[in-house]
Amino acid sequence: MAVKERDSHTGYMTTGHEWNGIKELNTPVPRIVYFFLITTALFSIGYWILMPAWPLGVSFTRGLLGIDQTTTVENALKQSNIQRASWTKRIETESYTAIQADDALMKIVRQSGKTLFGDNCAVCHGLNAKGSKGFPDLTARTWLWGGDPETLAETIRVGINADHPKTRISEMLGFGRNQVLNRAQVDAVIAYLRTLPGETEKAPAPIAQLDERQKLFAAHCATCHGDDGKENLRKGRRT
Amino acid sequence: MLAQLTKAERERGLLISVAVALCGLVMAVLGRNDPLGIHGAIVILAGLLCVFAIIAKFYAPEPSASRLENYYDDPTKVGIILSMAWAVVGLFVGDWVAWLLVFPELTFDAPWASFGRIRPVHTTAVIFGFGGNALIATSLYVLQRTSRARLPDQLSPWFVLAGYNLFCVLAVSGYLMGITQSKEYAEPEWYADVWLVVVWVTYFAIYLRTLVRRKEPHIYVANWYYMAFILVVAVLHIVNNLAVPVSIGNAKSYSVFSGVQDAMTQWWYGHNAVAFFLTAGFLGMMYYYLPKRAGRPIFSYRLSIISFWGITFFYMWAGSHHLHYTALPHWVQTLGMTFSVMLLVPSWASAANALLTLNGAWHKVRDDATLRFMMVAAVFYGISTFEGSFMAIRSVNSLSHYTDWTVGHVHAGALGWVAMITFGAIYASVPWLWKRDGMHSARLVEVHFWFALIGTIIYVFAMWNSGIIQGLMWRTYSESGTLTYSFIESVVAMRPYYVARAIGGLFFLIGAVVGCYNIWMTIRNAPAHAAERVDGKPDAVIAGARLQPGE
């Protein structure tokens, strides 16, 4: 049944098997295949001898190098903490004024601060810190809760409307819903806000009416937002 | 087509379809307050569809006994069409996911269109829908011809094909509703998994029953690979999906494994899914269609043996390289890495065996895009297996892990190897199956080839770049010992590559659509009766119709 024949192109014999016209040559396995099989096997055996490799029931072969990933990562962490300690210690202990006075230290602070901002703050405030709906623009340099380093640090520590017991609460009363102001009065306040400087939509109103609106604002809004509608420390900002 | 079933087979088919529909009814009733109920409805629908299809031909005359002298290719024909349909769906969703990473708003605020849901739709549709159907279709074709035996019966291949596609539909529709086991490539829930076991065992039985009846003294290499594919996938699927459902009326289940054992089981499964589904199965395909199309004998029978046993033995150990630098014990990682390195040798031996088979037929590779698909597939197989072994080395993995490099590597394999060899095999077998002189348009095969190749290259290069940049950005430290880049900066840096990747994917999709059109036109012009005799003599019905040179 098995008729072996010589392939004219390669000069090798076929195995004599045939499947629906497909034949196979009986070409010997090229030497290089054995070479690489042996090389990779030797590499593996060497690696097994040096590294943790084979299970032994409740334990495993530890390897001559005594390397283990847990200790490796612990050492790496220890090492990097030591490397950073030169400046982290100063940040932990020194006052903000002292830190700000040291240009070299501030360079490090800015460098790591940028990455920390990207990983922690950018989700809401944007990578460019310009903010988005409901999240203030941090580049405006007007700080709702105060802009000195101590206060900023406290704000970051306790958060705003967060679950920390000392968190800052940012909340405006529902003047309309609570019926402090009726619909017409709400509209009047809005109209007044639009006359304030910085608004694009200027609607100059008669002085008499404006007085009425201004009074409403002074009575209900100015406590938090200030007489001129400009934000106050720890209080909301109109825009 | 179904008129070819004997009366007894029609009765049995009807019985099975009714039973499936009843199972669906039970699922729908018990799961009425759960997404399981919707899947029950889908199962009812699938069962009824089969009932109607069989009833339509139920009283057709008994097929003539002469059919037994022909190979049974109807399921293969349907399988190829299904495979191409899944390819277009899967590639479309894949490209959508790719654009979603560029324009996050492309979810249109719909939960079902979120990344976490449509991404598995993409992977399942391409791997299991496209790849799986192609494997089933071609394996049945190759099995019969290399055994010189007809399939043992006509019902079980239909059961396998229809059942398998029902599984794919349940999987994909489930993801959109949020049903998932959260295990990569094993997302479908318990009831779909149980169903697949039934289908898969039937598939393996077809293989064994046909091989037992073979008229060739030896079992051809392609069949070793196809059998390894079916057998190992069954083992992997059963073990990794061991889970306890919350209740019989609930789609959710909990794995019996937990913690790092769960992770290890999952990646033992995951990597061997790559090995035995995406490699062994398609090597089976390659070992038949490539020498057949090239008209050349396999370069070396001995090399086939070495690489087959090398691949099956080494792959089994390699899964833990997916868990380098994790809670997985160090020694398990060592084994995963070293076996992955050794695996390179049999992998390259297979690729070399394929390419050296082409010696003496390189002029055909130049002229024939179908053969060129297969040649390029072998090249990409070599590239991606080298890359895989390389990335499995622990220190390389510390750079590549969790980056787009992994995504690029997978696609070098999936687009370059799996899809290319499949397109080659499909373009070869469509004219053989439908008894045509060739494809409707050789020029369109050429167009498809270039779209596919350019798409793959754009994709892979984009992901190499983005992956390595990501890896480097994540590990760059400033002099003061802190990370230089925040994660979001690495995301921003990826944008141009994500655009390129999505364009590469679009090329690949367009190629597949061109292929569908070409296949459809070839089939449309096919003569009505076309069957191929087991003994190789021309069939009486098609006497005069030209058989393919390769047949």
The chain-wide mean pLDDT, for chain B, equals 94
What pLDDT digit, counting tens, does each position of B241-291 carry? 999 999 999 999 999 999 999 999 999 999 999 999 999 999 999 999 999
What pLDDT digit, counting tens, does each position of B35-59 carry? 999 999 999 999 999 999 999 999 9
Q: Give the pLDDT confidence score for residue B138 in this predicted structure.
A: 98
A15 and B301 within 8 Å at the Cβ level: the answer is: yes
In chain B, what residues touch A7 (CB-CB under 8 Å)?
Answer: 297
In chain A, what residues touch B492 (CB-CB under 8 Å)?
Answer: 127
**For each of chain A's 239 residues, which pLDDT tens digit applies?**
578 889 988 889 999 899 999 999 999 999 999 999 999 999 999 999 999 999 999 999 999 999 999 999 999 999 999 989 989 999 999 999 999 999 999 999 999 999 999 999 999 999 999 988 888 888 887 788 888 888 999 999 999 889 999 998 888 888 988 888 888 888 888 888 887 766 555 555 555 566 777 788 888 888 777 766 665 444 444 44
| Closest residue of chain A to B328, computed from CA coordinates | A69
What is the length of chain B?
Answer: 551
Question: A10, A33, A50, A132: which to substitute to probe chain B, counting the most B Cβ within 10 Å?
Answer: A33
The DSSP element (H or E) to which A25 belongs, if any, is: strand A22-25
Nearest to A25 among B216, B301, B341 (CB): B301
Question: B144, B150, B292, B302: which to substitute to probe chain A, counting the most A Cβ within 10 Å?
Answer: B302
| Closest residue of chain A to B292, computed from CA coordinates | A22
Nearest to A115 among B216, B310, B482 (CB): B482
Label residue B536 by pLDDT band (50, 70, 90): low
Question: B301, B357, B394, B535: which to substitute to probe chain A, counting the most A Cβ within 10 Å?
Answer: B301
Nearest to B297 among A23, A118, A119 (CB): A23
Residue B369 amino acid letter: A
How far apart are the CA of A133 and the nearest CA of chain B, in angstroms?
Answer: 17
Every domain range in chain A assigned CATH 1.10.760.10:
70-141
Tokens of B380: 């990409």
Q: Average of pLDDT values for B465-469?
A: 97
In chain B, what residues touch A9 (CB-CB under 8 Å)?
Answer: 296, 359-360
A17 and B488 within 8 Å at the Cβ level: the answer is: no
In chain B, what residues touch A1 (CB-CB under 8 Å)?
Answer: 217
In chain B, what residues touch A87 (CB-CB under 8 Å)?
Answer: 480
In chain A, what residues touch B359 (CB-CB under 8 Å)?
Answer: 9-10
In chain A, what residues touch B489 (CB-CB under 8 Å)?
Answer: 118, 127
More confident residue, A235 or B407: B407
Whole-model pTM: value is 0.90
| Closest residue of chain B to A37, computed from CA coordinates | B345
| Closest residue of chain A to B549, computed from CA coordinates | A21
Long-range contacts of the stretch B477-481 (C-beta < 8 A, 24+): B478/A108, B478/A111, B478/A112, B480/A84, B480/A87, B480/A108, B480/A111, B480/A112, B481/A80, B481/A83, B481/A84
CATH class as words, domain B72-524: mainly alpha
CA–CA dist A115, B283 (Å, integer): 47
Give the DSSP letter of residue A22. E
Q: Give the pLDDT confidence score for residue B545 in this predicted structure.
A: 35
Question: B150, B210, B482: which to substitute to probe chain A, counting the most A Cβ within 10 Å?
Answer: B482
Tokens of A9: 């192109």
In chain A, what residues touch B485 (CB-CB under 8 Å)?
Answer: 115, 118
Q: What is the count of residue pairs from A and B with beta carbons less than 8 Å apart?
A: 157
Which CA distances in Å does A104 have to A152, B27, B462, B479?
22, 69, 39, 12
Nearest to A52 among B331, B360, B482 (CB): B331
Q: Give the pLDDT confidence score for residue B540 in this predicted structure.
A: 45
Whose CA is closest to B269, among B185, B195, B333, B387?
B185
What pLDDT digit, counting tens, does each position of B307-321 carry? 999 999 999 999 999
CA–CA dist B3, B154 (Å, integer): 11
Residue B87 amino acid letter: A
Q: Which CATH superfamily is domain A70-141 in?
A: Cytochrome c-like domain (1.10.760.10)
